[in-house]
Amino acid sequence: MLRTTFYRRSTANSVESLKVVASIDQDGDSEIRVTHTIDQSAVDDRIGFHGHGGEQWLRDRHTSWTADGFQLVSSGPEF
Chunked into runs of 10 residues, the chain (79 residues) has average pLDDT values of 94 96 91 97 95 93 97 79
> Quick one: pLDDT at residue 28?
83
CA-closest candidate to residue 21, choices 67, 60, 73, 78? 78
**CA separation for the pair 23, 54 (Å, rounded):** 9
Taking the complete model, does pTM exceed 0.85, yes or no? yes
**CB-CB contact of 61 with 53 (8 Å):** no
